[in-house]
Amino acid sequence: MSENPKYRQLLHFLKEELKLSSESLVIAERSVEQDRGPLPMILWQYGLVTLEQLDRIYDWLEQVY
């Protein structure tokens, strides 16, 4: 999954713009790999991002994809 350039851009956005820790992203990525849902929703469900940040993520995704 991390080989995808757009996915790497998303991770960069999450780290740089939303200031998420690498540890938070590792936790969320494990759940994504276990097929528990899309990364933005996992981040929100685990309380790693706020609803406002979740909106920002989806706005960013709309622009990039």
Domain ranges of the chain: 5-64
State yes or no: pLDDT of 1 exceeds 70: no
Residue 2 pLDDT: 55
Scan for tokens 């981040």, then name that residue: 43
Dist CA 20 CA 9 (whole Å): 14
Mean residue pLDDT across the chain? 92
Residue 35 pLDDT: 81
Q: What mean pLDDT is predicted for residues 12-21?
A: 97
Q: Do 42 and 36 contact (CB within 8 A), yes or no? A: yes
Q: SS3 of 56, please?
A: helix
